[in-house]
A and B are shown apart, each in its own frame.
Chain A
Amino acid sequence: MKVLGKGKKRMALVLVVGLLAGLLAACGTKETKENGAVNTTSQNNSNTDDQNKEADNSDESNTPAEGEEGNNTSENDTDTEGSVDLVEGSFTIGIGQFAEHGSLDNCREGFLEGLRQEGFVEGKNLTVLYDNAQADGGMASQINDNYIAQTVNLICAIATPMAQSAYSVARKQNIPVIYTAVTDPVLAELAGEDRVPVGEVTGTSDKLPVEKQLEMIRQVLPDAKKIGILYCTSEVNSESAIAEYKEAAEKYGFEIVTGSVSTVADVPLATDQLLPQVDCLNNLTDNTVVSALKVILDKADAAGKPVFGSEIEQVKNGCLATVGLDYIDLGIQTGKMAAAVLKGEKKASEISFEIIEEAAFYGNTAVADKLNITLPEELTKTAAEMFSEIAE
């Protein structure tokens, strides 16, 4: 009898702990709900019921638009520093980021800035839930499930797998998804060939300006023949970028030599192998390779060969130069798209995804001096930013 009693006790204990956890969760969600309710004085949208929510969604997309339109047109050119006219209402968005990574962090920062410029300020009329999947695909879908459960007004998904996962979950609930840092939305089946979204999902692409980059490399290194590119085989964006590089290389008289890795740990060996075969290295936005940028730079330095970057952060960290993207700008552009959707001016499905057209030149003079290379004046003249030291 005693034995059974003990077993029962233990069982009970486990159950009680489970119940407590459940209660805690309920309280947690309630709290956020209440917060929402407090903020939503003008717009009673803190419904928990799904069906109500759906009705509410369409409601939202109409009402603010009517009330706000006049307001918006007048505040077209609000400066970034000055006060912004807050959009009436209270909004909750979820930002799901696929990995921890300088460029992606910049995307997020820019995204919030873009929303701010359009009158959505975090802590005032905007509640932001942020989660990072740490490059775990399974985690990505749970994060998005949670956003749906919290009935967010919009999901911002950073990087391709996050965007796909968000769309896969959100399309059932008709919650709009705005993505950024998706290199090829068409390949990811988030948009059709004509850039029109497949559903309530749109955003910005961080497609590399391949031709401009090659042209720049040709200007800096008139005699170079072979460009080495390292990439990770599990990153789909890199493969499509390489295909594009190979296609465009001939036009500028280059040959592309690739080295592939599957983890960060492979990078040193692959760099050693690739360096002797090439005149310079060129980085993509490959997360795995960029994570090991320091190693690559050290080895290239030792060999006296320049490394070109693909975005501003890499040049700051010791790449010679790039014609690339500023991810903050990309984020701002994305934030503005999200604002249009939140205000109800447009539905996500009506906005084609956008690509940053004007890529700018970034150079690092400290690196140039070290390698005894002079960056042509025609490039430095038009540079968006020149760095004179290497960030540690």
Chain B
Amino acid sequence: MMTIVLGVLEEGLVYAIMALGVYITYKILDFPDLSVDGTFPLGAAVTVRLMLAGFHPVFCMLAAVAAGMLAGMVTGLIHVKFKVRDLLSGIIVMTALYSLNLRIAGRANVPIFSQETIFENSLWERIIPAGLAPYLTAMILLVLVLLVKVLLDVYLKTKSGYLLRAVGDNEVLVTSLAKDKGAVKILGLALANGFAALSGSVYCQMNGFFEISTGTGTIVIGLANVIIGINLFRRLTFVKATMAVVIGSIVYKACVSLAIALGMGASDLKLITAVLFLIILVVSSLGKTGRPGKTGMTGKSGANGEKRRGGKAGKEGAPHA
């Protein structure tokens, strides 16, 4: 039982980093960014390439983030400067990255079993007692994910972070503040894809190889994580949206793992994912339409109003675009 929990935790945490990126684009910017399908393996490709060239794993990760941000900027530029629709610009970049990733990695499948990674290196071997070794991967991931989450939280509290949220909620407002909403969008996309690439970099280090097919469907996983997380915790105001995304990511992987354990094949899993999506979305939209209608129209008790305001204040962490 412990192994499956650890497995789920590891898989969930790796994808949580990417999901935080998807949270920026999908929830904050209201931009359906498909380029993560390309930037996730891009991170992995850059990592294996540099690692085989002898660079330190941490440097490889930073380089992966830089590459991902660059790709995100390209998506943004295509959308903002050439006025290509959001969905399309993502698709264009994703498609281009498929070829680029193959070029960068050199082959469709590159193993790094013999390389030092952030999970397996001489330092850990020296300082980590053998009893802790099975938990090492999960612990490193936990630290990494929390670090990334806190950085994102802090960033969202800065002036630039507020602008990012404003673009998603009300573009006109941003323009009236004499700020360039296009530049903000590009920045948001760069950040999101930086996260996706970091996730890919960590993923390939954890698994010990780069494989081009791991990128397919990343966006679906990311969206699932975000939607599950946000909707599970939307009533619990003390859970920050970013935390909700991280937990949602683990919950999603737990569901997948459960489905496999119950004997469902990969061929059925996509359908199950879709049904899961639908249930969560329907349940949450029922909540949305039922509530304001009643309280808003009758507006009877002050207590109700207060509760609603309380709810809204809490939601600020998770602005609904």
Contact = CB atoms under 8 A, between A and B. Distances in A.
Contacts, number: 155
Given A3-B308, A132-B267, A233 B108 contact: yes
A165 B213 contact: no
Contacts of A373: none
A161 B109 contact: yes
Interface in A148-193: 148-151, 160-161, 164-165, 167-169, 172-173, 187-190
Contacts of A376: none
A36 to B, nearest CB: 14
Interface string A231-263: 001111001000000000000000000000010
A190 B236 CA distance: 47
A145 B7 contact: yes
A381 interface: no
B267 to A, nearest CB: 6
Interface residues of A, number: 57
Given A133-B266, A164-B109, A239-B107, A146 B291 contact: no
Nearest to B101: A234
Interface stretch (B27-35, B140-148, B181-189, B203-211): B203-211
B3 interface: yes
Contact of A139 (B8, B99, B114, B269): B269
Contact of A262 (B98, B261, B267): B98
Contact of A149 (B3, B134, B208, B287): B3
Given A132-B266, A168-B208, A1 B109 contact: no
A188 B267 contact: no
A4 interface: yes
15 contacts: A7-B287, A14-B232, A24-B258, A25-B258, A28-B261, A132-B267, A138-B217, A145-B11, A146-B261, A160-B109, A161-B211, A172-B133, A189-B112, A190-B111, A198-B113
Interface of A: 1-4, 6-8, 10-11, 13-14, 18, 21, 24-25, 28-29, 48, 50, 131-139, 141-143, 145-146, 148-151, 160-161, 164-165, 167-169, 172-173, 187-190, 198, 233-236, 239, 262
Interface of B: 1-4, 7-8, 11, 98-99, 102, 107-109, 111-114, 133-134, 206-209, 211-214, 216-217, 221, 232, 235-236, 251, 253, 255-258, 260-262, 265-267, 269, 283, 287, 290-291, 294-295, 301, 303-304, 307-308
